[in-house]
Amino acid sequence: MPSPSPPPAPPVLPISEHEDEIVAAVDANPVVVVIGETGSGKSTQLSQILHRRGYTRRGAIAVTQPRRVAAVSVSRRVAQELGVPLGDEVGYAIRFEDRTSERTCIKYLTDGVLLRESLSNPDLKQYSVIILDEAHERSLNTDILLGLMKRLIKDRASDLKVLITSATLDGLKVSKFFSGCPVLNIPGTLFPVEKFYSAECPTNYIESSLRTAIDIHAKEAPGDVLIFMTGKDDIDKMVSKLEERIQNLEEGSCMDALVLPLHGSLPPELQVRVFAPAPPNCRRFIVATNVAETSLTVDGVVFVIDCGYVKQRQYNPSSGMYSLDVVQISRVQADQRAGRAGRTRPGKCYRLYPMSIYQKEFLEATVPEIQRSSLAGSVLYLKSLNLPDINILKFDFLDPPSRESLEDALRQLYLIDAIDENGQITDIGRVMAELPLEPSLSRTLIEANELGCLSPALTVAAILSAEITLRSTRSKDMEGKRKRQELPDGSGWGDHIQLLQIFESWDQTGYDPKWCSDHDLQVRGMKLSKDVRNQLCQIIQKVAKGPTGMHSRKSRKSDPDYRKLRRALCVGYGNQLAERMLHHNGYHTVGYRTQLVQVHPSSVLEGDEDGKFPMYVVYHELISTTRPFMRNICAVDQAWVLPILKKVEKLDVNRLSGGSSAPKDSEPLEDKHVNLPNKAVDVKQSEVD
């Protein structure tokens, strides 16, 4: 094994200057809130300080991150600073990837992984310290962890320390939530940042950012430029256009330029490039999503270009639909973005929107994810914890979700048998909660296990949950189209079956990467789904009763219409079912809410010889772009749908939510109006960071 690279000189970060104060507060209190500006050293130093001061003698230190990219990147940095190989004393665990060992005493993990760990080990006894980092991001899982920590600290007051860190969080609010725990404010060393506003909002923010970047390069003193874009597609466009314009710059600049993308789905070897020092006499342009707002701190930035937008996924419980909108950022986000320019010396921030928009239209803070997500997975998780006295509608949230959202989650869980009509978790629900998958996929696997078609179901679940795009380029040229046309077509049953067929064809080549590129498929994505499949295989072996046929591919050959798999999908997606209209190929969703929807143009599902689409389909996701669309669709038989319709008839949300023990009037939750950011603009991309 190669020896680790020599550790860089330890950074003198603001937090290091407050070591004694921090340790004294942690010694004396079970919960401490630490507020410090981004880059002050919260993520990289707090764990090291507590490790040095002996806190790892009784257990490990867990540091949660809402983003996978941050868990990986920060652990790598800490391992480097301590001069140890990653995975030894310092490691990370993200969904489907565990780089820790028995020796690991500083563990970076996503908040979702910590939640999962608490299922098998509710007291989290393996940890002496739990640091909920980046709490200001208000990710759904961090919010749930906040509630759980409040309970846990009562049982482990003597041997557990909880730290909650944030760059912007209203510390008093969290402190109040934790019965008035101390709040440590770490003063930052931010230099002044001059802000420039545009006279109008840009009609094309890529073009405006591009012009501003070129202007800076031609006229301004040395210093790197951080450009905020909304997603991977925009970043790719921006990077190639910027490189092109810099090359063609007539008057030129006296400096070289290096353009680097930064987003969550960047391969790790490309991510680390932004942390390497800039070559001499070279200005770096880092084109990033909001991952660079607070999660990752890139040194050397002096100029920031802020387009004022972010891509945000929002769930509407009344339609069951997700929309992925480019929305205005909040004032807190705008200030964070500007702050990135003042870390090393006075900086400049170019806001591509007028000051009046910042003041009057931007929300004060971003709406927490818990108020804009489907809660089925979280509610199932909480139910499976078997906490005494837990009524889901009364769970102690920092900011409660709406009642509508919680009821929607309960209905969904009931339709896929995870809870019974009284809202009690079922045996099926317990197994589902143990699988690191969204409820529809875990239910599909359990049913597939019963029906003897687990192997293909695992493949489909792996591909859908690896959160990757299989198509490599989506190139619209003839060549790209031809390559894709050679792919299997789902045999008329839809996208799940096509995904399965693609994977199986690849399997038959012995997982040949060339086969992927020959068919316009991302090799990395395909490999990842293979890894995820293997892991799911192991997990389900542990949690499900006697799974069968995991490795056998017999079902595929003897079952050409994929009947069993489609049936399992129908049960798993029992809450995501649609019926075709009588006279055309539009659909309406079936269940406790009805919504007109269409088949997404990317679907391989086709009509029969009369052009008619299947009468019933299940879908993986409902998204609202130009219109409401179902994405990833599978045809199912009417006979399988009938039991689901019967369940719909029996739905009684009062019983599901606790019946007489929780009469509606006495609920603490109001039907809160969730204030979503306004000004959605056109969205073309399907992935958020």
**Sites of contact with ligand ADP (CB under 6 A):** 11, 13, 36, 38-45, 73-74, 76-77, 275, 297, 299
CA dist 97 and 69 (Å) reads: 12
- 3-class SS at 349? strand
**Toward ligand ADP, which CB reaches closer, 276 or 478?**
276
**Toward ligand ADP, which CB reaches closer, 74 or 140?**
74
* C-alpha dist (Å) from residue 52 to 57, 90, 118, 444, 504: 10, 13, 26, 47, 50
Q: What are phi and psi of 279, to 5 degrees?
A: -60, 160
Minimum separation from the CB atom of position 604 to ligand ADP (A): 40
* C-alpha dist (Å) from residue 306 to 221, 302, 312, 358, 615: 19, 13, 16, 12, 47
CA dist 470 and 501 (Å) reads: 13
**Toward ligand ADP, which CB reaches closer, 163 or 540?**
163
CA dist 167 and 186 (Å) reads: 10
**Toward ligand ADP, which CB reaches closer, 64 or 319?**
64
**Toward ligand ADP, which CB reaches closer, 45 or 374?**
45
Minimum separation from the CB atom of position 54 to ligand ADP (A): 21
**Toward ligand ADP, which CB reaches closer, 73 or 402?**
73
Using a CB cutoff of 8 Å and minimum separation of 24, what contacts does 113-118 make? 114/62, 114/64, 114/141, 114/145, 115/141, 115/144, 115/145, 115/148, 115/381, 116/436, 118/148, 118/385
In 3D, which of 376, 463, 462 has the Cα closest to residue 415?
376
Minimum separation from the CB atom of position 494 to ligand ADP (A): 42
**Toward ligand ADP, which CB reaches closer, 41 or 112?**
41
Minimum separation from the CB atom of position 317 to ligand ADP (A): 33
Minimum separation from the CB atom of position 295 to ligand ADP (A): 8
**Toward ligand ADP, which CB reaches closer, 343 or 631?**
343
Minimum separation from the CB atom of position 45 to ligand ADP (A): 6
**Toward ligand ADP, which CB reaches closer, 40 or 595?**
40
Strands (E) across 205-335 are located at 224-228, 256-262, 282-288, 301-306, 309-316, 321-328
**Toward ligand ADP, which CB reaches closer, 92 or 573?**
92
In 3D, which of 101, 133, 465, 132 has the Cα closest to residue 294?
133
Minimum separation from the CB atom of position 5 to ligand ADP (A): 12
Minimum separation from the CB atom of position 629 to ligand ADP (A): 38
Minimum separation from the CB atom of position 426 to ligand ADP (A): 41
* C-alpha dist (Å) from residue 273 to 259, 262, 269, 301, 510: 11, 9, 7, 14, 33
Strands 321-328 and 309-316: antiparallel
**Toward ligand ADP, which CB reaches closer, 135 or 393?**
135
Minimum separation from the CB atom of position 145 to ligand ADP (A): 17
**Toward ligand ADP, which CB reaches closer, 38 or 230?**
38
Whether the CB-CB separation of 234 and 265 falls below 8 Å is answered with no
Minimum separation from the CB atom of position 99 to ligand ADP (A): 14
Amino acid at residue number 501: Q
Whether the CB-CB separation of 577 and 589 falls below 8 Å is answered with yes
Amino acid at residue number 257: A
Strands (E) across 156-204 are located at 161-166, 183-186, 193-197
Minimum separation from the CB atom of position 372 to ligand ADP (A): 24
CA dist 49 and 309 (Å) reads: 36
CA dist 378 and 370 (Å) reads: 9
Interacting residues of 451 by C-beta distance below 8 A, sequence separation 6+: 564, 567, 568
**Toward ligand ADP, which CB reaches closer, 275 or 397?**
275
Minimum separation from the CB atom of position 10 to ligand ADP (A): 10
**Toward ligand ADP, which CB reaches closer, 303 or 381?**
303
CA dist 259 and 105 (Å) reads: 37
Minimum separation from the CB atom of position 22 to ligand ADP (A): 13
CA dist 185 and 290 (Å) reads: 24
- 3-class SS at 546? coil
Minimum separation from the CB atom of position 86 to ligand ADP (A): 11
In 3D, which of 297, 216, 227 has the Cα closest to residue 259?
227
* C-alpha dist (Å) from residue 284 to 209, 276, 296: 15, 11, 16
**Toward ligand ADP, which CB reaches closer, 38 or 657?**
38
- 3-class SS at 36? strand
Whether the CB-CB separation of 80 and 8 falls below 8 Å is answered with yes
